Structure 1
């Protein structure tokens, strides 16, 4: 299974049985650069095997259905609207602990 490249996200891990759609990094160079700046990870290098899960996109940026008139058919593989950038990131507790000196 494909794993999300966002730090702290467990989408795609064997320990996480939740089904989450994954999106591959865009081929468009300008959009790829925007994704790289948006994803909070210093060591991130995009390859053809780099994916970001649906949890990191606004709902309005995800196309889940093909529609024509009154007919709506769900896509097996969701799509992103043109120019969509991942913007939703959870900060893992370990980072919060280090940033704010939190005790257990």
Structure 2
């Protein structure tokens, strides 16, 4: 007997697509990766050349989660205050604003 959950096949396909995209970004990286760590987190940062320009790939070594940001998205971090970062850290492993939110 095999147990399955609703949406299992969609979740597995999304995970396969994300893994393939990550591998594609890593293959397109330029230069040596930079690893930054402390007792709370460890991330590897890579410069990635894409067909849409340069992006920064930030990969969490511990959780396996990653994000690819363009220069404007990266600059937008400089517009934030400490409260924004505290809210992000306080809501670990989840987006600060869900994609379904209209706000």
- Pair in the same fold by TM > 0.5: no
As a proportion of its length, which structure holds more strand? 2
Higher relative contact order, chain-length normalized (CA < 8 Å, sep 6+): 1
TM-score in terms of structure 1 length: 0.23
TM-score in terms of structure 2 length: 0.23
As a proportion of its length, which structure holds more helix? 2
